[in-house]
Chain A
Amino acid sequence: DAGVTQSPTHLIKTRGQQVTLRCSPKSGHDTVSWYQQALGQEPQFIFQYYEEEERQRGNFPDRFSGHQFPNYSSELNVNALLLGDSALYLCASSRRPAGTDTQYFGPGTRLTVL
């Protein structure tokens, strides 16, 4: 049973560019959450998708957007990249309805903005 997978593993972009990160949830999971983890910091919640809709959002600007596909996979898009967007982007999947929705994380995509 494959766990959560993310692609690409690493990515280098320049300021002002746009980036798309991809996530495939664990088998049987229908909910995908995205987190940003700056170097040496804890993960910060960006947003969560369920039934192809954004259900919750953290304190991130509109430059961060996402999408969920009918097969439950998800994309995170970041426009107009800033140096401060350099971070590890983590995808987590879970299953609804579930009382406490334990989340399973992928290995992350390391984004470097130059």
Chain B
Amino acid sequence: DAKTTQPNSMESNEEEPVHLPCNHSTISGTDYIHWYRQLPSQGPEYVIHGLTSNVNNRMASLAIAEDRKSSTLILHRATLRDAAVYYCILRANAGGTSYGKLTFGQGTILTVHP
């Protein structure tokens, strides 16, 4: 599986934007970029995913570099409830050999200060 690299931790203040980076220099052309987060004492939760174009949903935005070797998860206004571990994961599309499993890295621990 292609590997991702994320900072171990980041901090933010409440109601400020947060940009969580992820490097994936060995990404293949069919890999989707997924983000999951895990709040304390809960299972991981899907946040967003994309292939080439930037994506927006109610939780966050995903900005993907033109060469696809990096991406950034953007939380537009952080709240205390956004404090979690954020995982950037590459997923093969249907038919790929790694289809079906998520390979988690160590993720980024996001701390949000009031």
A interface residues (Cβ-Cβ under 8 A, vs B): 4, 31, 33, 35, 42-45, 48, 50, 55-56, 58, 90, 92, 94, 96-108
Contacts and interface: CB of A to CB of B under 8 A. Distances in A.
B11 to A, nearest CB: 19
B100 A31 contact: yes
Nearest to A6: B43
Nearest 8 interchain pairs by C-beta: A105-B43, A42-B104, A45-B101, A48-B100, A100-B32, A105-B44, A56-B100, A102-B46
A33 B101 contact: yes
A98 B102 contact: no
Given A33-B101, A56-B100, A100 B91 contact: yes
Contacts of A56: 100-101
A42 B104 CA distance: 6
Find the residue from B45, B49, B100 having the highest chain A CB count within 10 A.
B100
B101 A108 contact: no
Given A42-B87, A99-B94, A58 B101 contact: yes
B25 interface: no
Given A100-B49, A103-B46, A42 B106 contact: yes
Interface in B84-107: 85, 87, 91, 93-94, 99-107
B83 to A, nearest CB: 16
Contacts of B107: 42
A107 B102 CA distance: 17
Nearest to A35: B102
